Structure 1
């Protein structure tokens, strides 16, 4: 039987709206309200008997909680490592480190100082997906999997599933509370856009 995976990007945070790299920020009132407003739509798309996983980040765990998911934290679903840029505003980096920021936004192999490149993130997410796709156990495979994580990981999952070059990452937009559906059959992942 195929593995059906629904990846959900966490709700918006004040850091996102301020143009800051995340620093394990919680949901604010607006993010919580957005999740509550989207909960009925998302619950209808998320099978109730699916295995649920979540990034260890506070915003992802709070999103999963508001969605009513009893999700297991998984370090592989942690946000991209932004290294020394964690908590910093993009506008400030554009002044303080314009060349490094430009490289990071265009080159999938460029990483923030002390951080992770998008190519590394694609490999990390690909390893998680491939392990999930080969996991034995009829229960999980029959009922599907839900994972609440971060937009960069949804991008990485799409890149991995489609076999695209990581250079396409700046062309993939993932909004808060987006859902990406992937399916694995015979150890091959496919992206199902518009399936929900």
Structure 2
């Protein structure tokens, strides 16, 4: 039996609009209309899960879902860079920022390296689908990590996957492996 996992990035926040690394913040006040329209297009679900940050829980609630928080879906832990503007970091820590973008094991911010993020998401996916039809409200970094894993792509391919607020990915599991189906929720 094929299981379906839809990964959905949380709604926009002040940090995503300002292109800052996020802190634990709420979604923008104007997100309700987008969430309501998206909720009307959701397929039938057996379960919903989400990252533990407020923006994930608020997105799930805005979709009318009672989502169970799951630590593996938490945002990329960026330590001292949390809440900061990347341009500010490049200006103050150019070598650290360059290492972070080019070395999957680098964590100059004191948080998770890219390799650690990829391992966390891989372990969650490899545990198998949470339910036959599940929606996971998470973060762009987690979705990107999941896509890299499902495609068996090299770690640095992470930087070539784009995902923003309310982006989605449709993953299917046939009992042996995950595959990526084009479209996500956009295909409904």
Q: How does 1:111-150 map to 2 (within 5 A)?
A: 111-133=107-129, 140-141=131-132, 144-150=133-139
Which residue pairs with 1:155 in the alignment? 144
User: Structure 1 stretches of 5 or more lacking a match?
Assistant: none
Q: Tell me which protein shows more helix as a share of its residues.
A: 1
Which residue pairs with 2:67 in the alignment? 71
TM-score, normalised via structure 1 length: 0.88
Which residue pairs with 1:92 in the alignment? 88
Aligned-partner Cα distance in 1 for 2:42–2:177: 23
Which residue pairs with 1:39 in the alignment? 36
SS across alignment from 2:41: helix
Aligned-partner Cα distance in 2 for 1:187–1:168: 23
Contact map agreement 1:53 1:147 (CA 8 A) in 2: yes
- Paired residues, number: 185
Aligned-partner Cα distance in 2 for 1:112–1:3: 38
Which runs of structure 1 show a deviation greater than 6 angstroms over 4 or more consecutive aligned residues? none
TM-score, normalised via structure 2 length: 0.91
Contact map agreement 1:83 1:113 (CA 8 A) in 2: yes
User: Structure 2 stretches of 5 or more lacking a match?
Assistant: none
Task: Note the aligned Cα RMSD (angstroms).
Answer: 1.6
1:42 Cα offset (Å):
4.7
Which residue pairs with 2:161 in the alignment? 172
